[in-house]
Amino acid sequence: KNEVEQSPQNLTAQEGEFITINCSYSVGISALHWLQQHPGGGIVSLFMLSSGKKKHGRLIATINIQEKHSSLHITASHPRDSAVYICAVRSGSGGSNYKLTFGKGTLLTVNP
C-alpha cells in the first residue's frame, strides 16, 4: 500500500505570501493528484501530474519522480485560497484501475 505523507498539516499565511505544500509517497506511481476541499466540504481536482510541472493561474504543481515528492505552490495567496489541500496518488503502472490513495490533507488559512 502506498503511504502518502503531506506537510505541513496546518499552515497559516498572510495575504500575498508564497505558499508551499509538500507531498511524499513511498511506492512508485503512475499519477499524482492535487485536490482542494472547500470549507463547505466540496472537493475539486486541481491538477493531475505524472512528470514535470503544471500551472493554472496562481497555482503551480511540481513532481520529482525519482525523489517520490511533489509540491503545490500558491503565489500571491488570498483569503479565498483558504481550504484543505489534498495529495493523492495512483499506484502502479496504470492500466484501467484508477483507484487513489489519499494524504491526510493540509489545512491552509490565509489571513487578510
Partner 1 sequence: NAGVTQTPKFQVLKTGQSMTLQCAQDMNHNSMYWYRQDPGMGLRLIYYSASEGTTDKGEVPNGYNVSRLNKREFSLRLESAAPSQTSVYFCASSLMETQYFGPGTRLLVL
Interface with partner 1 by CB under 8 A: which residues? Answer: 4, 31, 33, 41-45, 48, 86, 88, 90, 96-105
Least Å distance, CB 49 to partner 1, is 10
What are the residues facing 10 on neighbouring strands? 107
CB–CB of 59/74 below 8 Å? yes
Residue number with CB closer to partner 1 (10 or 111): 10
Decide whether 12 or 97 has the Cβ nearer to partner 1. 97
Task: State the nearest-atom distance from the C-beta of 74 to partner 1, in Å.
Answer: 20
**Nine-digit cell string for 38:** 472547500
How many angstroms separate the CA atoms of 28 and 44, rounded?
24
**Minimum gap (Å) between residue 42 Cβ and partner 1:** 6
Cβ atoms within 10 Å of 34's Cβ, excluding its own: 23
Complex with partner 1: residue 43 or 76, whichever CB lies closer: 43
Is residue 86 helix, strand or coil?
strand
